[in-house]
Chains A and B, each alone.
Chain A
Amino acid sequence: MLHLWHQMPLLCAVKILLLIIKMTDELKERLSRVIDTGRVVLQYGWIPFVVYVGWKQSTPRPNLLKLLSPLPSA
């Protein structure tokens, strides 16, 4: 079980989480607004993000027209 102590950051994160649970109403409202915004960003930003990472890492980098058109690229 010794190796569990390597995951101290995880335990700290849980501790912080438990502290946040006992938070004020204002903080709660702000947090839920942040989560809502994050959700919208994730919904519309995830696909562009994956496409960008893939484009950046592939060699040769395909051009945008090739990348997005469904037609076979010659």
Chain B
Amino acid sequence: MSDLTPVSPAAAPASAVATPAPRVYNKGFSQVKDIFNKIYQSRANLGLPNPGTTENINKEVSRDVLLTPFFFTGLKADVSKSFSLQPVFQVSHALALGSPVLPNYAFGSAYANENTMMQGNIESDLSLTGRAQRVWNSAHTSRAQFQLGDSQPAALVQLEHDYLGPDFSLTLRALNPSITSGTLSGVYTGSLLQSVTKKLALGIETLYSMPASKEVPSDVSTSYFARYTSTNWIASVQARGTGQTVLSFYKKIADKVEAGIETEIGPNPNAMLLGTGNLIDGTTSIGAKYEFRQSIFRGKIDSTGKVSCLVERQVLPILALSFAGEIDHVAKTAKVGLGLQIEAGSEEVFEQQMQLQQQMANAGAGAGTGAPSTPSA
């Protein structure tokens, strides 16, 4: 920042008396700049960490400990082939049977080098899901996500930019931005998460939706976030603009054991539209994750009477099996899923991977464990 400041008159050499004095753009401006620098300095002295983004406010619970994002039903088989590790280049084929959400066949490809990531998945009905990411420097990252296809109700394009400051994160997001309707339309989100103390972070997110047609009114909603990160536990609160409140608590119980609770309370849409059920509805899920040497076990119980589990086991270095099961004790139904994952890369790539894993294991042992901010590592 200091390299951009114009030369101040005090810094000018004494011999400069004969020559015209260095230009001072504006005295007021330099004063404002001084104040700004002082604030910046004192803020840097606090040593606040970057709190992560609002999107990841409860990722330890909702995306790692709870099995919801990994759950599947029916039979599935994934074959992935790696052709290179630096840069990463991988092609995958996914087959599924008897699942209401998974497509019968999907072809995927992924490419990633140090600062660019591109990934795509095309399903048997020719609908495409794609992602691209560009890391400009340690602070700025741009992302694009798209879902295009005839089976989808509408094409979905999302552009995102993250700015990770020293003690805050700013995210700007545009969903389906368009100007063809005559005005700017789409859903625009801006979110900010700021570290207040070394452990506490507070955040705000504002969503502004501008529909393409003039009849539908535009909408604004604001959400608030708080996240407290302690040595081995994390608690977070989200008050969403839609009226939902999400509380989550994560705890690292032992080196390989993690547990999490998530409670969601909010207005019940069924009660408003159909007049059934309570006006305010809530669900609580309790989950745990055990990491064994060859397998990962996840279990979950929730307040609607569902008990579910997911086991992933690495049988061979190239073969992994997974089992997913859920029993709904209220509705008296059960779901089962069985999966097979094959890594069919070439031998050179496999050797490279082993070396890389060895390096990572060594680095992990050196860095030590127990930091809850990177439990997935």
Residues of A within 8 A of B (CB): 1-3, 17, 20-21, 28, 31-32, 35, 39, 42-44, 46-47, 49-51, 53-55, 57-59, 62, 66-68, 70-73
Contacts and interface: CB of A to CB of B under 8 A. Distances in A.
Given A47-B122, A50-B120, A54-B89, A62 B346 contact: yes
Given A44-B126, A47-B107, A47-B120, 6 more contacts: A1-B36, A17-B179, A21-B183, A54-B90, A57-B111, A66-B346
B4 interface: yes
Contacts of B33: 2
Contact of B113 (A2, A20, A57): A57
B120 A58 contact: no
A47 B111 contact: no
A35 B155 CA distance: 12
Given A1-B36, A70-B79, A54 B155 contact: no
A58 B84 contact: yes
B83 A35 contact: no
Contacts of B48: none
B130 interface: yes
A54 B126 CA distance: 21
Contacts of A28: 180, 182
A3 B119 CA distance: 32
Contacts of B5: 2
A67 B180 contact: no
A55 B89 contact: yes
B234 interface: no
Contacts of A1: 36
Nearest to A68: B91
